[in-house]
Structure 1
Amino acid sequence: MTYRLNDKAYYNNRELSWLRFNYRVIEEAADVNNPLLEKLKFLAITSSNLDEFFMVRVAGLKDQVKMNYHEPDTKTQMTPQEQLEGISRLNRQNSTIQYEYYHRLMRELEEYDIYLKRPDELPEDLQNEVESIFDTEIFPSLTPLGIDAYRPFPKLMNKKINIFVNLSNKLGEQTAIVQVPTVIRRYFELTDGRNTYFVLAEDIIEKHISKLFGGYEIERTFPFRITRNADLTIHEEGAADLLIEIERFLKERTKGAAVRLEIDISKNDSTKGSFLRSELGLSEQDVYKFDAPLDLTFLFGLTSDLKDRFPHLAYPPFTPQEPALLSGKNIYDRALEKDIFFHHPFESFHPIVDFMREAAEDPNVLAIKQTLYRVSSDSPIIEALKNAAENGKQVTVLVELKARFDEENNVQWAKELEDAGCHVIYGMNYLKTHSKITLVVKRVGDKLVRYVHLGTGNYNDSTAKLYTDMGIITTDEDIGNDAINFFNYLSGYSLKPDYRALHVAPFEIRDLFAEYIDKEIEFHKENGKGYIFAKMNSLTDKKIINKLLQASQEGIKVDLVIRGICCLKPGIEGVSDNIRVISIVGRFLEHSRIYYFNHNGEEKMFLSSADMMTRNMIKRVEILFPIKDPLITEEIRSISRLYLQDNLKARIQKEDGSYEYVENEFEPISAQVELMRRAERHGREQLVQKENQLLMKVRNRFRRRN
């Protein structure tokens, strides 16, 4: 059969697909199923997402243009300049809608006597209080920066708010910039006894800025913000110590070229920003003007401050439950009996922490080996590893120093672990180690048992409450042997091992996917029943996309649940009409990666740290691991079917690459809400079971006494 694969109309551009994902996040601010404070929080998430997108993806495209690189991308045949133009158009549409929702939601907040105001909009006594705040808390840390022949344009910090000032006296006009210091709060809270008011720091500074420029008239002020290129190169080759090189890189990153200029025009709607644009080397395409505050990430703090006072305006609290397959048993004892499945945040991350803490304390544990990519700021995992080393155990930790925007954090953890006596390695040349694996070697009776935890998400107890991830703990011998070989490969010098059960990138995971899709096609030709399910964060790899298109053209049904970027266009007649692409954006960040192939009923189920992205499968050390227990396979299949039934939070991609909310025959259902309900039902059942067991013990004691 001749497949239809190479027309650019079959693909979505990666960057524009990401912006469509960010629009889906914006849409959550208008979803009637979300409480008011959560809607505002989604606007903050959108802004945070967009900052990183500009610092990395847009910055990379701008670098290509500067270097006169005009080669089109391999899927949609767009040059770097065409992609930048497309990004500018689509992001302006997104930003307009984002700020429309912002204004609407702030008006809704006023119904609860909560106001975001400028100083001169406050009651008079509160205006005096704001002036006192300026004089005592803000003014001492301000530094006005004049700009003239003796004082060149300053190197302004990435993502920080600044205030541009035009001023004059009898000698003429001058220009200055006042940076909003990072040491002060972004907003201040005041009350008149009935109403709660929030005032932004930049508005307070603007109001009283004349105190910084005695003898001058203030002609005009406006806040602005710069986003800089953070996608600089880490020089791994020839580095004597990667940790030292990372520290150098972190200093350099603060000096990256400007890639975006944002201007608040709410007080001066005629502001052009031409002087700033010229000084920063930006084009009009790089300038975004908003009739509202810049950097809506301040809403993270604002909504957090209000949740305790207005709990009905936030999501109802949810407590992660004990994993169903643990059943109240000790995690090591249970793992000897059968594999244990974890589904966070519906099931608690605490058993993973306990797994590490017990290993650190147990005299029968000889060695612990673990990969760390992103961990929390006060990580119990780190503490357990340090404790284990201090207890004399062999502890090996791979800390990935190149985890973007976590480099500084990971440098600090690496130093602490080394000081505690752990053997710390930093990864591999030109590859990021993104795999999530822990090996605990423990003496049980007269033999050594290898306990292995494998997961789709980081060893981060904070994000485990917010991200959906899956994992297993197993004592399977093949996986245990593979884990030993994997860590020896990372820490020493050897050729890549031949793994028995695990599949390890670079290359091997992509090769396996291609092979399994080909096998699914063969099975389907013989018996029908072809089916592929995959859930991931992003799909970009052209080789895998082409294989999925081939499967569709052979009549195989393909269901893809992809949160973010999807470079495959589904629903094109004769090309991808057997492929369905669903995106779910909800209370929790969808982060688990599931890969399933029907194989004529033989059912091959895998979980992985890797997406079907070229960077994951070629430029990272990732692990794809099989689910061998049929009960766990069926549990994951049940969860997968639930995602496909979602008609409250799920959007389906249309043939043109846009998305619309799913409409299906099911009763209104949110997969995440249903998974929370299932977990809570199991938790109640567990509680009843424990109470009955306790009651039975009491009765038995009573009988023995009598």
Structure 2
Amino acid sequence: MKNQITPKDVSSKYINRDLSWIQFNRRVMEEAQDPETPLLERIKFLSIVSSNLDEFMSVRVAGIRDQIKAGYTKKDFTGYTPAALLKKLMARTSLMIGEQYKTYRDLMRQLAKENIVFTSYNDLNHSQQKAMDEYYHDIIFPVLTPMAVDQSRPFPLVHTLGLYLSVVLCKNSDEACSEPYFAIVQVPSILPRWIQVPMRTNSKKLEFVMLEDVIKQHIHTLFSGYTPVAVDAFRLTRNADMTLNEEGAEDLLEEIEKELRKRRWGAPVRLEVQKGIHPWALETLQEEFELSEGVFEIDGPLDLTYFMKFSMSLSGKDHLRYPPITPRYPVEFKTEEDMFTVLQQRDVLVYHPFESFDAVNDFLYQSAHDPSVLAIKMTLYRVSGNSLLVQSLAHAAESGKQVTVVVELKARFDEERNIAWARKLEKAGCHVVYGLVGLKTHAKIMLVVRQEETGLRRYVHVGTGNYNDSTAKLYTDIGLFTSNQVIGEDASALFNEITGYSAPHQWQAFGVAPTDMREKLFELIRREKKYALEGKPARIIAKINSLSHQEMVDELYAASQAGVKIDLIVRGVCCLRPGVTGLSDNIRVISIVDRFLEHSRIFYFENGGKADVWLSSADWMSRNLTRRVELMCPVFDRQLQQSIIQILNMTLRDNVKARELLPNGVYLHVTTPEASFRSQFVAQRIEQWKV
């Protein structure tokens, strides 16, 4: 029997969002540590840990620092002041980094067993060193720029997340080195971070040296007349948040381009330095960046994000990767060449990456080339580098169709790419809209208006993920194709609200943030609470990426206390504390971190036996429910509802990659007496979930 935990046993009935995020990144690191995970996949997970931490530091920690700088001392709803939270985050992050590099060293040993070796320049034989010397002089040296720091040359701009070398020098004429000199050299990001060394005679080993190691060995070539005393790697993280004055911006696109340039000068947040860095170099860097805390000594290569490309670059090593999966084309569209004919008869559900994103590409392609199609409207939040969708939209506009594209320029870290797509679409004749002032447009929806014999008909696609064919191979997401009249009318009204002047719409089917989604969700939760109080079956299942909205947590607590059984599948941040007696006895929270990023947002409400099933773009966070244009769309087709419920039930059965959140905020692997059940692997067999 589990020990009962009451509200008195926990410091707060909420878990802090940022501390919960640390726990999430730790779960990602556990995948890098799992010996059951293929070796090159483990390396990818370690890379993801690093990129996650970069974003966390440049956004979340940067925001907390801004609060402290502004003198903000009020506690958040989890009981932390900014200063207390920052102190705890820095301590937890330091522990995580130690574990991260311990994992790195273990992975290096495992790679060596597979004859994949990272070595130092000094451990190469003579012919290998000669090859690296030639590579340095021919390829690396021409792109290096030594930047001295002295009275006449101020400290140069250090770009966020760039890798640099600090160089402490002595003049050759100064034997006592009474006055050291300081310079920095940027490790060029244009070159590969790792360099493959020619193989040794009669050896099967693939050997690699790091780019910065080769530069260090030849650093003297950049400073004639001086002797390098110490060469150490460092990396700076700056505040990456943008502060936009959208009201005063005549051209939002130009305003965002200005803010992107400003990001280069964002306030320093974190300084990573090589372990054993020269004390004077460290002092110089800390003084320049004004960082007394947030300095991390790294026992290994800085910036492990390079591992992602490295793991993908190795050929002939497929035995160290997951077996490839071939997404199936949705069978509903296979039987009929004309997708519109299929959708006139029934709705179609597509579950990525197990089913192919080609169905979305083909739908838009057919719409763009169909002479009966009059108008196409869609939202674009994050688009892949070579998007077929953008090409189809451009063709549709050039052929005279009315094409409206809502491009979210403020999609963090994708701003530059989205600006490029916006310009391309405008040039092709599309009406490009940048959303509503003060709100990010995060809804994922496409509307096609077609002239048919019976009149105009609307076809709609709504999704839980972005219109991005690259991430559709890596994320689990669900898309719904429908020609349902009510959904079509709501879709038209939604685009009119975004692109024009329209009073808030009385939605027939949709829930839309920021106007009414939050209240609609509260109503659905309260309805289950009512059924529970009446002694009727009451159940909620929600699959989301994050849960941090205080009122939402409180509504779920109230439903639990009324007897509603609640299962939450929350991949990342969760501020709700489950399993607390008298508060959340009936709530279970699990998180799944596996081969594919769990990204779909699905809401299920039992509704007295008449199930309500919704797909959504929104997580249950304050930003999603109050500061973004988000969408939740009902699934009316009973057969498709059962397929979605089957997906949820499969996820809840997972006892291989699922971790359960305990009342104390710790996650533990789910263990059950049943045979191993790995939901993502089972989902690859379409017949297991498709009804």
TM-score (norm 2): 0.96
The yes-or-no answer on 1:278 pairing with 2:290 is no
1:258 and 1:636 mapped to 2: Cα distance?
Answer: 45
SS of structure 1 residue aligned to 2:160: coil
Amino acid at match of 2:435: G
Which residue in 2 is equivalent to 1:569? Answer: 577
Instruction: State the number of aligned residues.
Output: 677
Amino acid at match of 2:576: L
Which residue in 2 is equivalent to 1:244? Answer: 254
The yes-or-no answer on 1:372 pairing with 2:374 is no
Which residue in 2 is equivalent to 1:477? Answer: 485
Which residue in 1 is equivalent to 2:239? Answer: 229
Which residue in 2 is equivalent to 1:403? Answer: 411
Amino acid at match of 1:313: L
1:37-90: CA deviation from partner (whole Å, max 9, x where unpaired) = 00011000110111111111011110111111111112x110111111111111
Which residue in 2 is equivalent to 1:304? Answer: 312
Which residue in 1 is equivalent to 2:51? Answer: 48
Contact 2:242 2:260 in 1 (8 A): no
The percentage of aligned residue pairs carrying the same residue is 45
Distance apart, 1:612 and its partner CA: 0.6
Alignment of 1:90-105 (within 5 A): 90-105=92-107
Distance apart, 1:322 and its partner CA: 1.8
SS of structure 2 residue aligned to 1:459: coil
Q: 1:155 aligns with which of 138, 154, 157?
A: 157
SS of structure 2 residue aligned to 1:163: strand
Distance apart, 1:641 and its partner CA: 0.6
Q: 1:62 aligns with which of 62, 65, 73?
A: 65
The yes-or-no answer on 1:18 pairing with 2:21 is yes
2:335 and 2:689 mapped to 1: Cα distance?
Answer: 15
1:470-518: CA deviation from partner (whole Å, max 9, x where unpaired) = 1111111111111111111111112121111111100411101111111
Which residue in 2 is equivalent to 1:693? Answer: none
Distance apart, 1:367 and its partner CA: 0.5
| Pair 1:366–1:660, CA change in 2 (3 A) | same
Which residue in 2 is equivalent to 1:121? Answer: 123
Amino acid at match of 1:282: L
Which residue in 2 is equivalent to 1:608? Answer: 616
Which residue in 2 is equivalent to 1:585? Answer: 593
Which residue in 1 is equivalent to 2:37? Answer: 34
Q: 1:77 aligns with which of 72, 76, 79?
A: 79
Contact 2:613 2:635 in 1 (8 A): yes
Distance apart, 1:196 and its partner CA: 1.1
Contact 2:528 2:607 in 1 (8 A): yes
SS of structure 2 residue aligned to 1:164: strand
2:454 and 2:529 mapped to 1: Cα distance?
Answer: 47
Amino acid at match of 2:50: S
Which residue in 1 is equivalent to 2:3? Answer: none
SS of structure 1 residue aligned to 2:481: strand
2:279 and 2:69 mapped to 1: Cα distance?
Answer: 30
Q: 1:415 aligns with which of 394, 402, 423?
A: 423
SS of structure 1 residue aligned to 2:220: helix
SS of structure 1 residue aligned to 2:184: strand
The yes-or-no answer on 1:598 pairing with 2:600 is no
Distance apart, 1:8 and its partner CA: 5.5
Distance apart, 1:191 and its partner CA: 2.8
Contact 2:168 2:281 in 1 (8 A): no
1:678 and 1:518 mapped to 2: Cα distance?
Answer: 34
1:277-330: CA deviation from partner (whole Å, max 9, x where unpaired) = 1210112x3011111001001101110111x31100001010001224445323
Q: Which range moves more in the overlay, 26-35 or 182-191?
A: 182-191
Distance apart, 1:680 and its partner CA: 9.7
Contact 2:533 2:563 in 1 (8 A): no
2:281 and 2:645 mapped to 1: Cα distance?
Answer: 55
SS of structure 2 residue aligned to 1:412: helix
Distance apart, 1:274 and its partner CA: 2.5
Alignment of 1:161-560 (within 5 A): 161-169=163-171, 170-171=173-174, 172-193=179-200, 194=203, 195-265=205-275, 268=277, 273-283=282-292, 285-306=293-314, 308-329=315-336, 330-560=338-568
Contact 2:7 2:580 in 1 (8 A): no
1:182-207: CA deviation from partner (whole Å, max 9, x where unpaired) = 22221111232532111111111111
Q: 2:644 aligns with which of 636, 641, 650?
A: 636
1:527 and 1:681 mapped to 2: Cα distance?
Answer: 31
Contact 1:262 1:290 in 2 (8 A): yes
| Pair 1:351–1:279, CA change in 2 (3 A) | same
1:142-197: CA deviation from partner (whole Å, max 9, x where unpaired) = 11111111111111011011001111123431111111122222111123253211
Distance apart, 1:681 and its partner CA: 11
Contact 2:490 2:510 in 1 (8 A): yes
Structure 1: give runs of 5+ residues left out of the alignment.
686-706
Contact 1:321 1:679 in 2 (8 A): no
2:419 and 2:120 mapped to 1: Cα distance?
Answer: 41
SS of structure 1 residue aligned to 2:566: strand
1:405-456: CA deviation from partner (whole Å, max 9, x where unpaired) = 1111111111110100111100100000000000001122231110000110
Which residue in 1 is equivalent to 2:135? Answer: 133
1:489 and 1:620 mapped to 2: Cα distance?
Answer: 13
1:4 and 1:112 mapped to 2: Cα distance?
Answer: 51
Amino acid at match of 2:674: F
Amino acid at match of 2:161: K
1:161 and 1:427 mapped to 2: Cα distance?
Answer: 36
Amino acid at match of 2:189: T
SS of structure 1 residue aligned to 2:620: coil
1:607 and 1:571 mapped to 2: Cα distance?
Answer: 27
Q: Superposition RMSD on alpha carbons, in Å?
A: 1.8
Contact 2:504 2:515 in 1 (8 A): no
Distance apart, 1:602 and its partner CA: 1.5
Which residue in 2 is equivalent to 1:698? Answer: none
1:559 and 1:507 mapped to 2: Cα distance?
Answer: 26
SS of structure 2 residue aligned to 1:451: strand
Distance apart, 1:679 and its partner CA: 6.1
2:61 and 2:504 mapped to 1: Cα distance?
Answer: 35
SS of structure 2 residue aligned to 1:405: coil
2:469 and 2:688 mapped to 1: Cα distance?
Answer: 20
1:343-398: CA deviation from partner (whole Å, max 9, x where unpaired) = 10011000100000001101011110001101101000000000001111110111
Contact 1:29 1:39 in 2 (8 A): yes
Distance apart, 1:253 and its partner CA: 1.1
Contact 1:346 1:679 in 2 (8 A): no
Distance apart, 1:677 and its partner CA: 2.6
| Pair 1:386–1:680, CA change in 2 (3 A) | farther
2:225 and 2:461 mapped to 1: Cα distance?
Answer: 68
1:57 and 1:643 mapped to 2: Cα distance?
Answer: 30
Distance apart, 1:140 and its partner CA: 1.1
| Pair 1:554–1:357, CA change in 2 (3 A) | same
Distance apart, 1:666 and its partner CA: 2.3
Distance apart, 1:342 and its partner CA: 0.9
1:327 and 1:371 mapped to 2: Cα distance?
Answer: 26
Which residue in 2 is equivalent to 1:694? Answer: none
| Pair 1:271–1:314, CA change in 2 (3 A) | farther
